[in-house]
Amino acid sequence: MQDSFLEQLNSAQLEAVKTIDGALLILAGAGSGKTKTITTRLAYLIDAVGIPPESCLTLTFTNKAAGEMQRRALSMIDNLSTHPPLLCTFHKFGLLFLKFYIVELGRKANFILADSEDSKRIIKELNNDLAPLPLVISEISRYKNSQITPQEALKNAYNANYEHIAKVYKEYQEFLVQKNMVDFDDLLLLPLEIMQKNPKIAENESKKYQYIMVDEYQDTNHLQYLLLKQLCSTHQNLCVVGDDDQSIYSWRGANIQNILQFSKQFQGAKVIKLEKNYRSTQAILKAANQLIANNKERLGKELKTTLEKGKPVEILHSSDEQAEVRRVATILKGLLSRGISPKQIAVLFRVNALSRSLEEGFNREKIPYVLVGAIRFYERSEIKDVLSYLRVLVNLDDDFSLTRILNKPKRGIGKTTIDKLLTLTQKYNTSIFGLFNESQENAQRLQDVQNTLSQKAYKTMKEFFITLQELQHNLQEASLNFPDEFERRIKLCEALGQSHEEIDRVSNIEEFYGVYREFFKQNPLSNLEDFLNDLALRSDQEDTEMRQESKGIEGVSCMSVHSSKGLEFDYVFVIGLEEGFFPMTREDSSLEEERRLAYVAFTRAKKELYLSFVDSRFYRGNRATLPPSKFLAESGVGNKGEAKQPKQNSFAPTIRRSFVNTSSESGFSKGDCVMHKILGAGRIVEVRQEGKTTRLKINFGGLEKEIFSDFVTKV
C-alpha cells in the first residue's frame, strides 16, 4: 500500500485507519470522507498489516455501495495474491451463509429468494381481505425481526384481528418452506437462528472473519446487531461507521440505540469523530449544525467545513404550491441557462404527494426532470412474468411462479384449469409438473389428470413442459444467447400489441434481456439462480439509477428526502417546509427523527441550498392554512420574520381541520370496530365532531385513547 494514500487522510481519518484491534466506532458526519476512511482502513489491514483478505468482512446496505467500496479498496492494495475480501450487503451475506448452512434447518440449498412483491402476493392470497393488507405484511415482518414464531404470535394474539394475522403468518411460513423459498427477513433471521442453535457454527464464522467492518451502522436493526454479536463471539474486532444524526429509518426497523449504545454493548470500544466536511459550504453547514443541535438523543459532534463561506441559505416564501413551483422553476431556469447540468440539481420533499405540483409545474415550464422512485422496474407486470419463467427453469416444481405464466402469452389455460390442477397437486402431494410425470408408478395419477382436463388443455400442458425442459438444456449450453432462444420459443414480446403501453412493455422486456446479458458477461461462472437472487437483492435506489443510466435520462432529480440519503448535489431545493408536512405531525412520528431527516436534506447540498414554504397548500381534497416549519427557525435561516417559530399548538387544530374529508358526516358511530396502525383493533365509545374534525374515544382492550378519525379505519 502506497504511503500517498495515507497522506491524503486528515488526522482523525488516519487514527481511524490505524486503530486495528478492538471495537471501534467511527462517528462520521455528512460529507466527512467516511467511504475514503473505511476503504483505506480495509486496504491498510490487508496490504500494510498483512491480514489475509479472507479474514476481512465488510457489510453495508446497498450493492452499489458495496461495489464502489470494493473498487476503491482494491485500487489501494499493491499485492492481492488471493481472493478479494468479502464486501457485501447484510442480506447478501445472509444469502451466502444460507447456501452453506440452511441444511441445518432441514432445508435444501437451492432455495429461491422471494422479493417484496412475491411476499405481498402470497400474503394477499392467504389473507382473504379479512385484515388490512399493509398491516398484515408489516406485522409479519415485525414478528420475524423480533424472532417471534407463528406459534408465539398466535399464543399472544390479544384480539381476533391479530389472531387472524398470526394464522396468516403461520400459513405464509409453511408456504415458503414447502416451496423452498426465503424472504428478505429470512436472510437475517435464519442465519441468526442457525448460529444461536449451533454455537460451533457461530464460532467457526467468527474465527473465519477476524476483522469486521459495518458501514451506515445507524441503519442497523436489532437482528443485525444480534448477528454481529454472533460473528464477534471469539473477538471484539468490530469497526462500525455511522452517523447518529442521519438515522432516518425507524419505520423499517432501524434502531438508533445500536449506535448510541455501541460503547456499552462492545466492551472497551473506542470512538473517533470525523467532523471535517468536504462537501458543503460554511453557510449550509451552519444551518445544518444549528438545526440538529436541537436533538437531545445524539452522541454530539459539529461539522466544520473545509470550503468557503458560500452563498447564504435562501428562504422561498410563497402563497401556495403553484406559486412555489413557479418560483422554484424561475431559479432553475436561471441555473440551467448558466450551463449547470440538471444532474447537479435536486428538489426534495418529505411527502411524496407534493411531487404532483412539481410535475405539473415543470411540464408547463418545460424543465427536464426525473421523478426518482416512481415505479420499480422489477415490479412491472411484464418483468415479473419473465422472472417467473426463469424461476420455473431453475425449479420446474415451483408452482407459485408457474401459475403466473401458464397462460402468458395466452395458450388457453384459464383460471378454472389452473384451479383443477392445484386441486390434483393437493390430492397427490406433488407439483403441477409432477402430475405429468409419465413413469409407470404414476400411471393412475396421469390418467386422473387426463380425465380432469380437456384434451386440448392436457396437450397444451404437455407441450409447454417439453418446451421448458428444452429451454433448461439450452440455458446450460449458452447463457449469453439464452434471451434470444427464450424469446424465439416463448414469444413474450411478439404476443404484445402495438399500443403505446404495450410498446413500452416490449422495450422493458428487451431492457431486461440486456441486464441478463450484462450480468453473465461480468459473472461468467454464475448460474441462473445467482442472477435471480442478485436481482431480488437490488434496492429501490439502485433500481432507479440503473434505469436512468440505461435510458440516458438527464433531468432535475425530484425525490423524497429518504431517497436522497447517500447522494449529493450542487444545488438543492427542499419544498413543503410547513408544520404538518415537514416535520410531519402524525401520531407515530418522532420529532427528533423528523429533525434528522431535515438534517439529511440540508447536507445533500454542496453549493446552494433553497428552503421553501407556503402559506397554504392543497392536500387530500382540501386547502390548509399552514405556519412555517419550526426547522427554519431552529436552523437560523429565517429572514424578515418569515420563518419565525410557530406558537405552541398553533398548527395542530388548523391542519387537522383541513385534512379530514369534506363530507359533514364522519362515517363513524359509537360501537364501530376500528383498526389503528400501532394500537391495533378497538371499539369506539364516543364520537365528537369539531367543525370538520372528528375526535374518537376508542377502547383498545381496556385502554381508552382519544384519536383523530384520520388515523383509524373501520374493520
| Contacts of the segment 510-518: beta carbons below 8 A, 24+ positions apart | 511/377, 511/547, 511/550, 511/551, 512/383, 512/386, 513/483, 513/487, 514/550, 515/546, 515/550, 516/482, 516/483, 517/480, 517/483
- As a whole number of Å, the end-to-end CA separation of the chain is 64
How many distinct helices (H) and strands (E) make up the chain?
Answer: 32, 23
Crossing angle for the helix pair 443-452 and 415-428, nearest 10 degrees? 160
Catalytic residue list: 34-35, 215-216, 246, 604
Q: Which amino acid is at 233?
A: S
Radius of gyration of the chain (CA): 28
682 is in an annotated binding site: no
Answer yes or no: is 35 a known binding residue: yes
**Would you say 12 is a known binding-site residue?**
no
User: How far is C-alpha 7 from the geometric centre of its chain's CA atoms?
Assistant: 37
- How far apart CA 242 and CA 151 sit, in angstroms, is 36
User: CB count, 10 Å around CB of 494?
Assistant: 10
Is residue 227 a contact partner of residue 185, using CB atoms and an 8 Å limit? no
For residue 29, say whether it is annotated as part of any ligand binding site: yes
275 contacts 304 by C-beta, under 8 angstroms: yes
33 is in an annotated binding site: yes
CA distance 113 to 398: 12
Residue 621, annotated as binding a ligand: no
Question: Is 555 known as a binding-site position?
Answer: no
All cell numbers assigned to 121: 402476493
Burial 335-348 (b: 16+ CB within 10 A, else e): beeeeeebbbbbbb
Is 624 annotated as belonging to a binding site? no
Helices (H), 179-281: 186-197, 199-208, 222-231, 257-260, 262-265
Please state the residue numbers annotated as binding site: 28-35
